[in-house]
Chain A
Amino acid sequence: MTPLPFSHPLLLWPTAALVLLTLALGLRAQLAPGLGVRTVGQRPLLQGLGLALVLLGAGLGLAEPRWGAASAPRLTVHVVLDGSRSMLVPDCAGVSRWRAATDTLGRLWSRPNPEVRFSLQLLTGDAVPVLPPGEDQPLLRDTLKVMEPGAIGSPGSAFGYALAQAVAMAEPRDPAILLLLSDGEETVQPRAEAAQRAVAALRAAQLPLYAIAYGQPVAQPVPAPNGTELISTAQPEFLEDLARRSGGRLLRPGEDLAALLQSLARGREPMPLARSLSPAHPEWGAWLALAGLALWLLAAGKPMRSWRPVLGLALGLGLAHPARALPLPASVQAWAAQTALARGNLEAARRWRPAPDQPSHRLLAAQIELRARAFQPALDLLAPLTGQGAPRPRAGERAAALLMAARALVELNQPEAARTMLQRLLLEQPGQPEATHDLQTLLKDPLPPPPGPQRPPPPRPDQGARQDELEGLRQHLQGKPRPLGGVKDL
């Protein structure tokens, strides 16, 4: 991770050199300007300063400074779960390391994780891919139930090899992290060698590793079915070292994992630049360069002396607040917002959102909020158009407002209120096709109860299917090749 928030920080060096050279040339010329230079009104020092600003702005813009929240939050979490037999040691507050790790994941996957996709891999003597990235959290929870440590993959834990394999499965420029849940006990390679290999792969892919360590750093017997005696010692400092060197960190026990993932997905936590969602702002460099060019023009001769204050003011206004601060009529703002919305540029649409003084502007503002999935603000905006009081808005605006309010209410999980909105629309404007369609499709009516005495419901088909799927998953995972190798489990 680079300490400077630039996409191409190396460009800052030549920029600095050119800026210094330009300033030096300007100063040198200022100390002994030619006769003609003074005659035509050129001022070399100011010219040098202006051109230095132009070059600085161009260089900064080319380096692309990055900041701000992600406009389209998303994150792929490649979960790597240690599946070696040492995870069976019961030294995590009375439960096994495996149980503690799967409980952590179970808790995470029982909560909504919007915009976050998870893949699942097992870390053994190599990496065993279990599920590709997806948002299907029930499937992930089910998969955890059929896995057991030591039963799948090669024996032992090879962090160097397995993490390199896990990294290879991540998309190159996708916003992603690796989440490792393990006891940190390397059994195949020397630890330094394994760490070197894993960190090299992680750094090359710019994939930060976040790790959670399980187990105590004291020797513990590993429960073994065939009576062989094995000893395991958890190595949390090894995981911490891996995480720190890759740009991630070791997570504390009890840390809110879901909140951390949301922060990463929304760009609130730093990510490596190649995977960062923070938007680049090269236009800031251009604004600086424009100011520099204005300074250079002012010092390049004596043109338009009487116009200079006015033009300077206009330029200053434009640079200080790019157009948003200009007192534009609401209709122009609405046009700009509508255009941005039509192009799918939600960020710009929100920036240009007109004040909701007129019904059409209120509808537009609500549409923008809906698109941004801000359902409650959209409802608040629509309230004057959807209420029962007088005066009523025009029929077209009323219909659009009621439809949008219904959609927002469905998203807010208030189907009854949404139904009321649509029914109100159908009462006021019978035959509204969109309202009829929405009533039929958006709100799924429950089937009427069967006549006669109520009997206990039979077992649902999805329970049987779930058992069948778990069995299939178990067979599928055990069918993975189990090559010889490793040290500890042999």
Chain B
Amino acid sequence: MNATLRFPLLLLLLLPGLWFTLRTSYRWGIPSSRPSGRAQRWSARWLPAVILALLVLAAAGPERRIPLKGRAPVVDFALVLDGSSSMKALDDGRESRWNAARRLILRFIAGRPNDRFALIQFSAHPVTLSPLTADHARLWTLLDHLQIESPDDGTAIGSALMTAVRRLQDSPARSRVILLLTDGAQNRGRVQPLEAAQEARDRGIKVYTVALGNAGEALYPLDGGGFAWLKVATDPDTLHRIAQATGGEAFLANDPVGLARSLAAISRLETTALPVDQPTEGRPMARWVLLAAGLLALPLALDLGRKRGRRPPAWLTQP
């Protein structure tokens, strides 16, 4: 939290104000020639001074500056997630690639609270599920409920990459990054992966690729129940060339642990030491100070009720 004052020079009023206040010898009720008690003297001297100090502080406009998320993004990510049916495979025998990828992406997003993310799911066709957003809570909900939808199964890596490029091309962020997670080789789509990589490179967008799964056979759940060992064609070489062409890095993740390591490495690579001017918005903090000043002023106000003199005796007023 960054606290500041809207009108800091008003604090200069404090010195002459306190001087004036402390020189004022207030007397509670109807002053008399008898010496008043210690508490009365002390409160009559210091209460107005405290009220004045509180009011001057409130008048200077204390506020806390809240950074506005997503207004000056440092890194904009497009997360491109393979949603083909092969992602149901269980590499470690416990968790499917799909669930591991979603879980670890959630962790990746949580580790980068100031960045924006777009989410693209693809199988035979890419779908933008979320444009670039700094609203991570919404993104988490979306990822949490995301399912493999493959009415038309396949792997269109090129089209998905190109879609990610289109999502990022107008971004004003300092760094624009595509994070591609796939376990297959291109077998659908109108765009070749290297064509898309070239477009990304021309627009200054980096691509990190993560090849999921083993090169050999993997355990797949069957629709009717049970499991089967199946082999899926993978193409780590193309993924490596995509990353190389755009200045990114290619990672191999044989299991969820490997994927976690890859994402952590990407997170480390995409850091910046340069300062960022995050726009902020002021939220006033004067209310508590004003409340205290108002409450302290109440005894002074009620003391006015004790200033009225007694009615003089009849023998004094009558002739």
Contact = CB atoms under 8 A, between A and B. Distances in A.
Interface string B263-278: 0000000000000011
Give the size range of A's interface with the partner.
35 or more
A290 B23 contact: no
A36 B36 CA distance: 13
A380 interface: no
Contacts of A307: 20
A344 B65 contact: yes
Nearest to B32: A36
Given A283-B6, A468-B126, A72 B291 contact: no
Nearest to B61: A283
A32 B284 contact: no
Interface string A441-471: 1001001000000000000111011111101
B159 A59 contact: no
A322 B297 CA distance: 24
A293 B131 contact: no
B28 to A, nearest CB: 11
A293 B51 contact: yes
B162 A62 contact: no
Contact of A72 (B71, B138, B161, B202): B71
Contacts of A438: none
Nearest to B11: A323
A286 B5 CA distance: 14
A138 interface: yes
B41 interface: no
A297 B20 contact: yes
Interface residues of B, number: 98
A467 B304 CA distance: 81
Among B55, B68, B161, chain A packs the most CB atoms within 10 A around the CB of B55
A139 B171 CA distance: 14
Contacts of B191: 461, 464-465, 468
B319 interface: no
Given A47-B307, A293-B55, A345-B280, 18 more contacts: A22-B304, A25-B304, A32-B311, A33-B308, A51-B304, A54-B297, A58-B290, A283-B60, A286-B59, A286-B290, A300-B24, A311-B20, A328-B9, A340-B4, A343-B4, A347-B6, A464-B162, A469-B125
Interface of A: 18, 21-22, 25-26, 28-29, 31-37, 39-40, 42, 44, 47-48, 51-52, 54-55, 57-59, 61-62, 64, 71-72, 74, 131-136, 138-139, 171, 279-283, 285-287, 289-290, 293, 296-297, 300-301, 303-304, 307, 311, 314-315, 318, 322-323, 326, 328, 336, 340, 343-348, 371, 441, 444, 447, 460-462, 464-469, 471-473, 475-476, 479
15 contacts: A34-B307, A44-B307, A48-B304, A62-B287, A72-B279, A72-B281, A139-B131, A282-B58, A301-B26, A314-B16, A444-B204, A465-B163, A471-B125, A472-B125, A479-B149
Interface of B: 2, 4, 6-10, 12-13, 16-17, 20-21, 23-27, 29-32, 48, 51-52, 55-56, 58-61, 65, 67-68, 71, 118, 122, 124-128, 130-133, 135, 138, 142, 149, 151-152, 156, 158-159, 161-163, 165-167, 170, 189-192, 195-196, 198-199, 202, 204, 277-282, 284, 286-287, 289-291, 293-294, 297-298, 300-302, 304-305, 307-311
